[in-house]
Structure 1
Amino acid sequence: MKYAILIDGGFVKRKLGSSQKPATAAEITNLVAHIRGHECLAGHELHRVYYYDSKPLEDVVTRPLQGGQMDFGKQDLVGRMTALYTDLARAPFFALRMGELSFNGWRVRQKALGSKEAQITIDADQLQPNITQKGVDMRLGMDIAALTLKGLAGIIVLVTGDSDFVPAMKFARREGAQLFLVTLGHGVKESMREHSDVILEING
């Protein structure tokens, strides 16, 4: 039976890396090798690895309060992420599915909102960009539908800890596919356990 590995890139980057030491393409491909070597997949054939993430934000926006501009495109993160995606796109069996990041103004940092003062004075350091991700969930759901309805994969291996993917998990099983979940030791909601067939114990 063929299987496909679907990776929630944002989740995997958080589990394998940190702000000081971001996850690398080598670490992500090594994770895939661990998954492929799991006993539950012995004798099955890999169809493809789908990696879902968002392109780095490159907008230029105006800073509130202190004025001036913030150029997201000049941040170190952009170069690191571009290199990561280039390396993953070249890896065997990998296909990248990229959504977008959207800048939605500014928000007050949670630490400032937690103040017990009756009145809060907001300064520039207490504001942070409000950035949301678009299109990733939709692409993952569409790929699960295509893989199952076209008979391309009888096993879906989903690497995530996000319960937003439960509807896609349910769809895969309703269409006859088996759903293997990889949480990398992350605590997940019971609904994710309920709508998976096997949880693969892999810690990256």
Structure 2
Amino acid sequence: MTMRRLAIMIDGAFFLKRLKNVDPNVPWNEPSQVANLIFRHALRHTNQRIGTKNRTPIFCDFELYRIFFYDCPPIEKKMHLPISKRSIDFAKSDIAKFRLNLHKELLKKRKVALRLGHLIETATWKLKFEAQTKLLRKEVTWEQLTDDDFSLDVIQKGIDMRLGIDVASLAYKNAVDQIIMIVGDSDFVPAAKLARREGIDVVIDPLGYGLHDHLYEHTDGVRDLSYKAKKQTPSEPEQFADELPQNVDNGNQPNMQKSFWRRRNQRKGHRPHDSQK
């Protein structure tokens, strides 16, 4: 019997927006730390609770097949701000530099595949929701708006297609038994439906985000490993960091993990059931 194989598929833009829900202590502008967090969070899914025995949680190891990270290169053109008309070069912005360096860091990671789409060049300025609310409440006038009340509206292209192709490849080659999708919108429903029809267990990690009903309908479950969810479910504590990478390399034999607390007691030199005698 071989160990079950697992693929992780991450919507990069969604993950970065929910970064503080994954680990509030990781700064958003440090590419190496964010790349390490992405890899570390994906590895946490390789050890899953599958049930209980004698009121003791039982965990099962999955072999990591690959981590797929879907994103787009940052916009690098020059534009004029909507109010002041001042020219701005997005290629020199901190966000663009961070995104490019993050992609470089991810390329160095073990078992990480970077899939890049593209941004539509016809990006436009969009009034922020907070500014719209103030205008409707007549708290401000149009003349009082500033450049900070607008955000650049960019649209990603090619992400859904690349994810769908990868899912189809995994499904038709029987490469994995389970796919974890870290996504937040229903654009990925067709890919999830295809995987399920081919017998793959599809699980969503929403990072604490409210999912669309279609994602619940067309997936096999939700496994939220966000910081908020972890605080609310102490019965499934995070595994020791030095135990997580054991399933990265191929060739591991199947292993049903003991409970977290039993492993901890064994490390401290306690017998598992001394308290029950």
TM superposition score category, shorter chain reference: 0.7 to 0.9
CA RMSD for the aligned pairs? 2.5
Hey, which bits of structure 1, 4+ residues long, moved more than 4 A? none
1:149, distance to aligned residue in structure 2 (A) = 1.6
> Aligned with 1:161: secondary structure?
coil
Contact 1:3–1:153 (Cα < 8 Å) also in 2: yes
Is 1:3 equivalent to 2:6 in the alignment?
A: yes
Q: Which has the larger radius of gyration?
A: 2
Q: Deviations over 1:147-169 (max 9, x none)?
A: 11222223211112222211211
Q: Counterpart in 2 of 1:13?
A: 16
Is 1:85 equivalent to 2:106 in the alignment?
A: no
1:167–1:180 distance in 2 versus 1, CA, 3 Å? same
Contact 2:182–2:205 (Cα < 8 Å) also in 1: yes
- The residue type equivalent to 1:21 in the other structure is P
Identity percentage of aligned residues: 32
Q: Separation in 2 of the partners of 1:201 and 1:105? A: 34
Q: Separation in 2 of the partners of 1:184 and 1:57? A: 26
Moved more, 80-89 or 34-43: 34-43
Contact 1:157–1:181 (Cα < 8 Å) also in 2: yes
1:141–1:110 distance in 2 versus 1, CA, 3 Å? same
Taking structure 1 as the reference length, the TM-score comes to 0.86
Is 1:128 equivalent to 2:122 in the alignment?
A: no
Q: Separation in 1 of the partners of 2:224 and 2:18? A: 14
1:184–1:129 distance in 2 versus 1, CA, 3 Å? closer
Q: Counterpart in 1 of 2:250?
A: none
> Aligned with 1:156: secondary structure?
strand
Aligned length: 203
Q: Separation in 1 of the partners of 2:196 and 2:45? A: 20
- The residue type equivalent to 1:14 in the other structure is K
> Aligned with 1:52: secondary structure?
strand
Is 1:143 equivalent to 2:166 in the alignment?
A: yes
Is 1:28 equivalent to 2:19 in the alignment?
A: no
After TM superposition, list the pairs within 5 Å mapping 1:1-204 onto structure 2: 1-17=4-20, 21-22=27-28, 24-39=34-49, 42-102=60-120, 103-114=122-133, 115=135, 116-117=137-138, 120-121=141-142, 123-125=145-147, 126-203=149-226
Taking structure 2 as the reference length, the TM-score comes to 0.65
Greater share of strand = 1
- The residue type equivalent to 2:43 in the other structure is A
Q: Separation in 2 of the partners of 1:162 and 1:170? A: 14
Instruction: Give unmatched runs, 5+ long, in structure 1.
Output: none
Q: Deviations over 1:160-193 (max 9, x none)?
A: 2222211211111112222122122322123212
Q: Deviations over 1:6-56 (max 9, x none)?
A: 1111121122238x9317111111101211122458354222110011111
Moved more, 174-183 or 34-43: 34-43
> Aligned with 1:144: secondary structure?
helix
Q: Separation in 2 of the partners of 1:37 and 1:177? A: 18
Q: Deviations over 1:102-142 (max 9, x none)?
A: 3422223333333234x952555244322111111121111
Q: Separation in 1 of the partners of 2:17 and 2:125? A: 23
Q: Separation in 1 of the partners of 2:205 and 2:150? A: 35
Instruction: Give unmatched runs, 5+ long, in structure 2.
Output: 51-58, 228-277
1:196–1:86 distance in 2 versus 1, CA, 3 Å? same
1:142–1:38 distance in 2 versus 1, CA, 3 Å? same
- The residue type equivalent to 1:9 in the other structure is G
Q: Deviations over 1:39-75 (max 9, x none)?
A: 4583542221100111111111233453332110010
Q: Separation in 1 of the partners of 2:224 and 2:87? A: 46
Contact 1:16–1:27 (Cα < 8 Å) also in 2: no
